[in-house]
């Protein structure tokens, strides 16, 4: 994918690439992806309900009812939804946490968490993950900042981060 001429920099997210790794100072790396907000702004602005929050947590998109207004792109506090500008019939694209494949029984967890050999990315119930994140911080207070990123930001997110640097979001 190429950056569009109005982009000042490419962050590697696109209509075909829904997650990327951002480089931070000091050889730190942060995964950029949809955070699946608990009260998603993208859902609240969609006039036709094409973007919606599932009871399981993921924010998913229905292209069959999307009218292409791109309000979701403007409303997202993390700048995540992308648009298939080059397509004759363009759609919004974003990570849906493999919701359709999990719901259909094809997967038991998102592909990204299943593929992570170090279990740096894990999947589960948000309350259980919050408990595990706080426990991890308590067990190694010298290693992690005492904060679970996503616990409270923009009302809370379904994707949580534990880090040794301030992630700034």
Pairing type for strands 28-32 and 51-53 reads: unpaired
* Percent of the chain whose pLDDT exceeds 70: 92
The length of the chain, given as a count of residues: 169
Q: Is the pLDDT of residue 134 over 90?
A: yes
Copy the structure tokens of residue 23: 């480089």
User: When comparing pLDDT for 5 and 24, which is higher?
Assistant: 24
What 3-state class would DSSP assign to 37? strand
| pLDDT tens digits for range 76-92 | 999 899 888 888 888 89
In this model, does residue 3 exceed pLDDT 80? no
Nearest alpha carbon to residue 57 among 106, 112, 129: 129
pLDDT at residue 40, rounded to an integer? 97
Whether the per-residue pLDDT at 104 is higher than 90: the answer is yes
Q: Is the pLDDT at 66 greater than 80, yes or no?
A: yes
What is the residue-averaged pLDDT of the chain? 90
Q: Is 80 exposed, middle or buried (0-12, 13-18, 19+ CB in 10 A)?
A: buried
Q: Flag whether the pTM goes above 0.75.
A: yes
Per-residue pLDDT at 7: 61
Residue 24's pLDDT is: 87
Cα 144–chain centre separation: 21
The pLDDT confidence band at residue 152, using thresholds 50, 70 and 90, is very high
pLDDT tens digits for 11-45?
677 777 888 888 888 999 888 899 999 999 999 99
CB 43 within 8 A of CB 53: yes
pLDDT at residue 45, rounded to an integer: 97
């Amino acid at each position: 994918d190429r950056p569009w001429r109005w982009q000042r920099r490419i962050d590697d997210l696109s209509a075909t690439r829904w997650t990327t790794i951002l480089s931070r100072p000091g050889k730190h790396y942060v995964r950029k992806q949809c955070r699946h907000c608990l009260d998603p702004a993208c859902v609240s602005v969609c006039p036709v309900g094409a973007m919606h929050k599932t009871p399981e947590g993921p924010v998913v998109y229905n292209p069959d009812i999307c009218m292409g207004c791109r309000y979701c792109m403007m409303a997202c506090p993390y700048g995540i939804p992308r648009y298939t500008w080059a397509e004759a019939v363009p759609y919004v694209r974003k990570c849906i946490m493999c919701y359709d494949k999990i719901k259909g029984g094809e997967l038991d967890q998102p592909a990204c968490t299943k593929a992570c050999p170090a279990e740096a990315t894990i999947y589960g119930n948000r309350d259980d993950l919050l408990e595990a994140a706080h426990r991890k911080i308590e067990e190694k207070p010298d290693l992690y900042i005492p904060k679970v990123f996503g616990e409270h930001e923009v009302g809370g997110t379904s994707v949580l981060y534990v880090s040794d640097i301030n992630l700034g979001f």
